[in-house]
Structure 1
Amino acid sequence: MLDFLVIGAGVVGLAIARRLARAGREVIIVDSGSSIGSETSSRNSEVIHAGIYYPTGSLKAQLCVSGRRALYRYCATRGVPHSQIGKLLVATDENQRPTLEALANKALANGVEDLHILSVAAAKAMEPELHCVAALLSPSTGIIDSHQLMLSYLGDAENAGAALSLRTPVIRGMRKSDHWQIGLGGDEPDDIKTRHVVNAAGLQASQVARALGLAPDRVPATHFAKGNYFTLQGGKPPFSRLVYPMPEPGGLGVHVTLDLGGQVRFGPDVEWIDKIDYSLDPDRAAKFYPAIRRYYPALADNSLVPAYCGIRPKLSRDPRADSDFLIASEADHGAPGLVCLYGIESPGLTASLALAERVAAGLGVPPSAEDAELFHTR
């Protein structure tokens, strides 16, 4: 009988499978897609977050900070492409100063101890194209090649004996006396027995939980927040660091990110949708220009080109709510041997190793010596 079935081959599912397999457990990963990380994990800003924004004590705050430290260590040992380029968090008018100060205090409470308050002159010395009235520098923010990270997680898992099956949706599930009977669809439908199930299906996590037979009142609704990205065409990149304005309801504001090749991207915005749809309306650029020009006044007309969009799974559609991660175990849903992860949006990539550690620890699976070292406080 299988030890663990991990549903979802995004960055978090792969991190969990890696952690369990390296502890000597027999693991199979299934995903309904045709490639790993084809949804949220490959359609984001590819930012390693410091842990600034999240409510103190929340899972997002705790796991972002510990996960960020572990992720930098992991990337260094595995050769995963990344760069700790830093981020400027900016107030663009005097009314935003209190918000910036509140974020600085929240970050400190969350364990982010390396923020630096910058004068306008110091901020502009770093980024001459920038407009602001106040700024914070986050040196521990970085960027990463998310696909290479997922390949590294998968390689570690497979080297430890795990197996991956793509185009394999979970059709149904039933809890027996001491195991789960899981019905798998796809090209080669099958029924398998497993002692434990980890539902890390991202956008489909609620749907999968219902397929596993959980009572409707034990399955939270997943809401879809679409984020659109535009790239800057032509000329030299105006920034060498990430630039973030003040957060907005449902997101962190239309910000500047860079990929490892230096390409400038702006986004994401927040567009609530009722079903998964990855089309990008070029006309949304009309709202990007005024938002970007608050901190980058020199942005030229007609310089934004549609890039891609991603969808974030959120547990609340209320823009005033700070939706947290939810790791639901038997105490939450009543089903033994099942862990469901809901609302795993940003900073899920940054927190992926920490999420895996939290899930494995909750299941009583100790880490390998190397994985324990990733979280060792120096």
Structure 2
Amino acid sequence: MRNRLDKFEAVVAGAGVIGLSVARSLALRGREVLVLESEAGIGQGTSSRNSEVLHAGLYYPQGSLKARFCVEGRRALYAYCAERGVPHRRCGKLVVATSDDEVKSLEALLARARANGVEDIALVDGADLAALEPNLHGIRALHSGSTGIVDGHALMLAYQGDAENAGALVQCRTPLLGGTLDDNSIRLRIGGDEPTEIETKLLVNAAGLGAWDVSRSLNGLDPNTVPPRYLARGCYFSMSGRAPFRHLIYPVPPAGGLGIHLTFDLGGQARFGPDVEWIDSIDYSVDPARGGAFYAAIRRYWPELPEGALAPDYAGIRPRTTGPGEATGDFTIQGPAETGHPCYIALYGIDSPGLTSSLAIGGYAAGLAG
């Protein structure tokens, strides 16, 4: 770290996929950027504990930030991955209905997707569905041809490389401990091997699950600007052997999530999840007993799932601004007008489709800085 009371034009808290994208956008606009990350490496929180799916934009209310940034971000991300050599695949997905009631939900989902500007989307049934996935049990499905998967860590390395090539500094093992809001600057206390204080003209809080803690550590910030935080843990189970599917397979989405779906990594390894479990503190443990509910959910669309094929894998935690029984909230991205300070931008509730939306969010947040 630099000497005491050094000044930085812009500081980004958090080196996950969103923080790195914001840093990249700021650096490419000519800003001097310092990224502070408390962990030993980039993307060790929510960014590395998800499905690595590039979402099409089916699920989100028209006009929401999620709908806007998912569609915009997904299009940009495919082009970016191709240009930068980030491993990815446009494999498509099927959202499958197994009952007449679920068909009505599929039709509503199709209407929402079209309202959001999603392309390559259609309902399929009968022989067409059987031709797409012979082992899939369902009476109708929504086919999304623009859904894909991406190597999330490779994507973050690409963002980091772009930011650093434009002059940004990414500092790991360097937690942001707190700060004080002055009239036209923010003084920050930084921990790590060389604790120090710095001053910045712009702080972007992209700390993911820790975003609320960052805001509450800032003296002078109106606490009423900080939304509530809820934690929704999602567990994943891996499968021994290969699943007999070419597409990602999703159920009709239940309340609170997208349902226990089948995804796979770029090597073809299948995994199922996430489920939804509301928790009070950050805990990434996976209870093997949750496997029973996984078998029941998966066998609705794949009855031939072998007994004993699933094993606990990992968990992620969705940072939410709405809780149990409430509608899934939107991204909350506060510029200076919302935070009440000219030097402070804060991002809360960046859960799915945050990875897909990352390029769009990075550009938007950087734009709020003026």
Please indicate the TM-score interval, normalised by the length of the shorter structure.
over 0.9
How many angstroms apart in 2 are the aligned matches of 1:92 and 1:266?
18
- Aligned residue type for 1:339: I
26, 29, 45: which one aligns with 1:23: 29
Quote the residue 2:356 is aligned against: 350
Q: CA deviation at 1:285?
A: 0.2
211, 214, 226: which one aligns with 1:208: 214
Matched-pair contact (CA < 8 Å) for 2:23–2:163: yes
State whether structure 2 residue 172 is matched by structure 1 residue 166. yes
Q: Deviations over 1:36-90 (max 9, x none)?
A: 1101100000000000000110000000000000000100100000000000011
How many angstroms apart in 2 are the aligned matches of 1:247 and 1:172?
39
Q: Deviations over 1:348-377 (max 9, x none)?
A: 00000000111112222xxxxxxxxxxxxx
Quote the residue 2:338 is aligned against: 332
What is the DSSP-based 3-state SS (H/G/I as helix, E as strand, rest coil) of the residue aligned with 2:306?
A: coil
Q: CA RMSD in A?
A: 1.0
State whether structure 2 residue 323 is matched by structure 1 residue 309. no
Q: Could you tell which deviates more after superposition, 108-117 or 52-61?
A: 108-117
What is the DSSP-based 3-state SS (H/G/I as helix, E as strand, rest coil) of the residue aligned with 2:354?
A: coil
Matched-pair contact (CA < 8 Å) for 1:120–1:132: no
Matched-pair contact (CA < 8 Å) for 2:259–2:273: yes
After TM superposition, which residue ranges in structure 1, 4 or more long, deviate above 6 angstroms?
none
State whether structure 2 residue 236 is matched by structure 1 residue 229. yes
304, 307, 322: which one aligns with 1:298: 304
How many angstroms apart in 2 are the aligned matches of 1:331 and 1:290?
48
How many angstroms apart in 1 are the aligned matches of 2:67 and 2:351?
13
Matched-pair contact (CA < 8 Å) for 1:120–1:135: no
214, 225, 245: which one aligns with 1:218: 225
Q: CA deviation at 1:169?
A: 1.3
Q: Which runs of 5+ in 1 are unaligned?
A: 365-378
Residues matched between the structures, number: 363
Q: CA deviation at 1:322?
A: 2.6
Quote the residue 2:181 is aligned against: 175
Within a 5 Å distance, the mapping from 1:1-378 to structure 2 comes to 1-213=7-219, 214-234=221-241, 236-364=242-370
Q: Which runs of 5+ in 2 are unaligned?
A: 1-6
How many angstroms apart in 2 are the aligned matches of 1:190 and 1:91?
56
Q: CA deviation at 1:237?
A: 2.4
Q: Could you tell which deviates more after superposition, 90-99 or 314-323?
A: 314-323
Quote the residue 1:370 is aligned against: none
Q: CA deviation at 1:333?
A: 2.3
Q: Deviations over 1:179-230 (max 9, x none)?
A: 1111111221110111100000000111100112322222112111000001
Matched-pair contact (CA < 8 Å) for 1:118–1:137: yes
TM-score (norm 2): 0.96
TM-score (norm 1): 0.94
What is the DSSP-based 3-state SS (H/G/I as helix, E as strand, rest coil) of the residue aligned with 1:191?
A: strand
Q: CA deviation at 1:335?
A: 1.6
Q: Could you tell which deviates more after superposition, 105-114 or 312-321?
A: 312-321
Matched-pair contact (CA < 8 Å) for 1:241–1:258: no
- Aligned residue type for 2:261: H
Matched-pair contact (CA < 8 Å) for 1:227–1:267: yes
Matched-pair contact (CA < 8 Å) for 1:88–1:135: yes
Q: CA deviation at 1:320?
A: 3.6
How many angstroms apart in 2 are the aligned matches of 1:120 and 1:230?
30
Question: Percentage identity across aligned positions?
Answer: 55
Matched-pair contact (CA < 8 Å) for 1:55–1:322: no
What is the DSSP-based 3-state SS (H/G/I as helix, E as strand, rest coil) of the residue aligned with 1:350?
A: helix
